[in-house]
Amino acid sequence: MATWAIGDVHGCFRTLEALIERIDLDLSRDRLWMVGDLVNRGPSSLEVLRWARALGDEMGDRFQVVLGNHDLHLIARQLGLASARPRDTLEEVLTAADGPDLVEWLRRRPFIHFGGAGDGDFVLVHAGLLPGWSPRDATVAASRLERQLQGPDPECLLHSRSDRALAAFTRVRMLDPEAGFHDYSGAPEAAPAGLTPWFEVEPRGCPGHTAVTGHWAALGTRLGRDLIALDSGCVWGRRLTAVRLEDRRVAQKRVADRL
């Protein structure tokens, strides 16, 4: 039994198929964790969503997807709570006969997932964690957001950038000296003075757990002591990455989708 984690797919279905084939995923035994941002920017979000829901039906709890900012944007578009952004590639989902069902499936995904693999304890989130969060703090925050997202009035959640927990799960990259969120999205080494990657601000959230994340293409694939970052910029013409959590074996595919 292996536990594979895969980075930000962003609708790059051809590349995803090739990567799944390369890691030789055993659907009857292995676990597969996706860091979120399944959709948008790339060409085949609809196929990725159909694949994900079918795999969830087949693998049950061994398949996990956490929500990213682009997944939330799709939900907001479907609900009429957001308008199109210039680089959106969501029309195919929004006009498909099964689009509403697929987006409802996405809407029921969590913001965080915990699990053990090999000797390690892992926490899966799209972007990051707030400094100082215990595993319980993070779980409580995620549960509140999930209830809100799945409830009758998700509007404030889907419009807001001011909810710190939501921003941590779905958007965080660097924090300023007051632990405020900064929009800088480049490589941490080239960042303006005073900004620190969220995972280097002490005490890091969920101590004792290796964070498995995506969202930060300029950070790229990084395997740190307590961080596995997986956004290797597939939708930017680079690669899609999978890591086997038990032994940190890395598998990658160069993008095969037409971007």
For residue 71, the minimal CB distance to Mn ion (Å) is 8
SS3 at position 96: coil
Is cis: bond before 203, omega within 30 of 0?
yes
User: Applying CB under 5 A, does 10 fall inside the site for Mn ion?
Assistant: no
Interface pick for Mn ion out of 3, 15, 69, 232 (rule CB under 5 A)? 69
- H/E element, 227: strand 227-229
For residue 181, the minimal CB distance to Mn ion (Å) is 14
**Closest-CB residue for Mn ion?**
215
Which two structure tokens, joined as six digits, stand for 147? 């209830």
SS3 at position 211: strand
Interacting span for Mn ion (CB under 5 A) from 10-18, 57-65, 68-76, 184-192: 68-76
Nearer to Mn ion, 25 or 181 (CB): 181
Q: Edge to edge, what strands does the sheet with 249-254 contain?
A: 63-65, 31-34, 3-6, 239-244, 249-254
The residues in 22-61 that bind Mn ion, with binding defined as CB under 5 A, are: 37
Nearer to Mn ion, 37 or 257 (CB): 37
Alpha carbon distances (Å) from 178 to 170, 175, 194, 230: 19, 8, 10, 27
User: Applying CB under 5 A, does 215 fall inside the site for Mn ion?
Assistant: yes
Nearer to Mn ion, 117 or 243 (CB): 243
CA distance 98 to 107: 14
- Mask of contacts with Mn ion, 148-187, x by CB under 5 A? ----------------------------------------
| CA proximity to 56, closest of 66, 44, 70, 45 | 66
Contacts to Mn ion by CB under 5 A: 37, 68-69, 215
